[in-house]
Amino acid sequence: MLVYVIKRILLMIPTLFGAAVLVFLLMRAIPGDACMLRMATGGGSIDSHVLQACRAELGTDQPMLVQFLDFLKGLVTLDFGNSMWSGRPIIHEVGLRFQLSLQVAIMATLTAILISIPLGTISAVRHNTWIDYVVRSFSIAGVAMPSFWLGILIILGILITSKAWFGSPWMPPITYVPIWVDPLTNLSMLIWPALATGYRYSAVATRMTRSAMLEVLREDYVRTARAKGLFQKLIVRRHALRNALLPVVTVIGIEFAFLMGGLVVTEQVFNLNGLGKLFVESVQNHDYNMTQALVMIVVAIFAVTNLAIDILYGWLDPRIRYT
Amino acid sequence: MATMTRPAAPAASGADQAPSRPSWLATFWRFCRQNPLGAVGGLVVLLMILMAALADVVTFYDPTRNNFGAMLEPPSADYWLGTDQFGRDLYSRIVYGARTALLVGFVSASVGGTVGLILGVASAHFRGRLDLILTGVMDVLMAFPLIILALAMVSIFGTGTSNVIMAITIPFIPRCARVVRSSALAVREMPYIDAARACGFGHARIILRHMVPNVFAPYLVIMTAAVGQAILLESSLSFLGLGVQEPVAAWGLMLRGGAQDYAESAPWVAVYPGIAISLAVFGFNLFGDALRDWLDPKMKI
């Protein structure tokens, strides 16, 4: 097992390296740079000496290869350097936002699990009945609805109901406080985006649970269990669900990884200062260091989640052995 | 929709015609009867295409003309779905928005899908170093969330409809290539490919005439799914202000800015464009699912 994990971690290196090359080149393919943008926002004409000095300060006047090696060195030592826009250390800037995004991702995942596994199971057990149709429509709608629109609707709903019930409109707080400082404020802020993304995410997982369960319920061992006279509940829970969970775990894991960086639009709707928003800002500001760091964080999370999924497989299905 | 019997009516009526291919219409009927949900999806897609094609005929206002005398009007006989903060008719904008959505959806799905098809089949056919490099690059690209990759592309190409199409097409390529490649790997081992090779056919002939037609089913399925995804992605980008630009009518753009500010006093501005996006994606997804069941019940994506 340990050997397997080490092997997998070593196999991550080419992916991470590829991602590093890609993001490095992509950023430099964007027309303009941070210095020109800084001067442009300052107004007036661009003085070539000042531009030169700025580039020297940021290190963008160096040859590409030198810049890339610098970036790699930073990656290996986990020192991402300073933001090219604000000048502050990247670790510092990312810190709180990472917490926020992680919390939303975890809450959305919990929402998705709580919705999808029971619904998917019921839908499969009651295959082709009205319950199945309702669940399927619910999940198809979830995939089709853009989560930012759902977010707008949720905000609209909060406004209307709070006005009707309390007389004055209530809006979720907009400044982030960690959950251990003030859990109530924290949750009342983050529960909404978690619901909006969790629903969409649950839709994908429900469909997967349903189809996996349908397949498993047709297996011989389920028939044997039924012939043995076991209760339906026991069959579903102990014999079917556990075997059906493999693909569901994959879907949930992959979505979780994507949520960490892919919440760009939902964060915009709820005005959250998360990783997604930071990413959009850093791309727009041509902040090479920041964008590179963010992309590497997201890709690393993706790779680690994939590994975690594979390890979880072994636990869910003892037949799978890693050597 | 009573019971579903396999050898349905069309088979019986086709029996006296010789056992040739069932007619186009018969196949169509069988598809609808076996996949009622898919037929609904197909209907939504068809309606959307009609709406986009006949946009000039079915609307009464210019979708881009401001009318400051009729700002944020609620839905009425004059303005079926109300007006936005610039007094533009929402119904007209939604109908014209279907054009934008379909254009982006179809072009990026078909171009991205086709490039992916070629790369996937070539990668499976040639194996060796080419396969290794291509799979490596695809894996790296797949490690990026779709929206992040699309945002990066938009920053390079710039905003506007044609650039958005490019930005959405590129992230689709690896997704399609991967699915096609795995099917093509199976096709490659088939005896008829060996036979073709034994006949001395060139690579191009084997790929185009023998492999591509046999991986067409997964290609079609992933392309239909991609149209829905592309529409969703385009609306997300436009919502962020990084996609289609004003004054072009696009659903995501309609939800930007004004929709949120006026949501409370003029909820129609925020509600209808969202319904349009959801319905369109819903239609393509249902249709795609049914197509998958129809073409290859065992395939999973």
Cβ contact B278–A141 (<8 Å): yes
Q: Which DSSP string do the residues of B212-238 spell out, in sequence order?
A: GGGGHHHHHHHHHHHHHHHHHHHHHHH
In the predicted structure, residue B49 carries a pLDDT above the cut 90 = yes
Query: Furthest-apart CA pair in chain B: how many Å?
Result: 76
**Which residue of B lies nearest to A306 if distances are taken between CA atoms?**
B143
pLDDT bin (cut points 50, 70, 90) of residue B231 is very high
Higher-confidence residue of A50 and B89: namely B89
Restricting to B residues 60-89, those with a Cβ less than 8 Å away from any Cβ of A are: none
Predicted pLDDT of residue B96: 92
Is the per-residue pLDDT at B9 higher than 50?
Answer: no
Contacts of residue A260, Cβ cutoff 8 Å, sequence gap at least 6: A101, A102, A105, A275, A297, A298, A301
Least confident of A48-52, A140-144, B257-261, B281-285: B257-261
Confidence (pLDDT) at B279: 92
Residue A89 phi, psi (nearest 5): -60, 140
Shortest Cα distance, chain B CAs vs residue A144, angstroms:
5
Q: Measured between alpha carbons, how far is B262 from B258 in angstroms, rounded to an integer?
A: 6
Question: Is pLDDT at B17 greater than 70 in this prediction?
Answer: no
- pLDDT higher than 50, residue A241: yes
pLDDT recorded at residue B168: 92
Q: Which helix (H) or strand (E) holds B191?
A: helix B191-198
Question: Which residues of chain A are within 8 Å of residue B281 when distances are taken between CB atoms?
Answer: 143-146
pLDDT value for A189: 87
* C-alpha span between A296 and B20 (Å, rounded): 57
Q: Which of A134, A149, A277 to mutate to test the interface with B (most CBs of B within 10 A)?
A: A149
CA A251 – CA A246 distance, rounded (Å)? 9
| Cβ <8 Å between A284 and B139 | no
pLDDT reported for residue A107: 93
Provide the pLDDT for residue A108. 93
B143 to chain A: nearest residue by CA?
A: A299
Considering only alpha carbons, which residue of chain B is nearest residue A258? Answer: B145
Q: Is the CB of residue A148 less than 8 Å away from at least one CB of chain B?
A: yes
Position A43: which residue type?
A: G
Dihedral angle sign, alpha carbons of residues B120, B124, B129, B133: positive
Q: Please tell me if residue A46 touches chain B, with a CB cutoff of 8 Å.
A: no
CA nearest to B286 within chain A: A140
A290 interfaces chain B, CB cutoff of 8 Å: no
Residues A178-195 pLDDT 10s: 888 888 888 888 899 999
Q: In whole angstroms, what is the distance from residue B101 CA to residue B104 CA?
A: 5
- pTM higher than 0.80 for the full model? yes
Probe site for chain B from A25, A148, A270 (most B CB atoms < 10 A):
A148
Contact A144 B151 (CB under 8 A): no
Q: Could you give the maximum distance between any two Cα atoms of chain A, in Å?
A: 86
- The per-residue pLDDT for A45 is 66
pLDDT in tens, A106-119: 999 999 999 999 99
Contacts with A169 from chain B: Cβ below 8 Å: 264
Find chain B residues with C-beta within 8 A of A11's C-beta: none
Q: What is the pLDDT of residue B5?
A: 44
Instruction: Using only the alpha carbons of chain B, give its radius of gyration.
Output: 23
The predicted structure's pLDDT at residue B158: 84
Of A14, A149, A284, nearest to B277 by CB-CB distance is: A149
Say which range, A85-94, A278-287, B15-24, B178-187, has the weakest mean pLDDT.
B15-24
**Which of A29, A146, A299 is facing B277, going by the closest CB pair?**
A146
- Dist. CA A3–CA A1, nearest whole Å: 5
On the question of pLDDT at A230 being above 70, the answer is yes
Burial class (CB in 10 A: 0-12, 13-18, 19+), B230: buried
Is pLDDT above 60 for B299? no
Distance, CA of B79 to chain centre: 30
Q: State yes or no: pLDDT of B297 exceeds 70.
A: no
Nearest CA in chain B to A207: B289
Chain B residue with CA closest to A300: the answer is: B143
Torsion region of A283: left, alpha or beta (phi above 0 gives left; psi -120 to 50 gives alpha): alpha
pLDDT of residue B301: 41
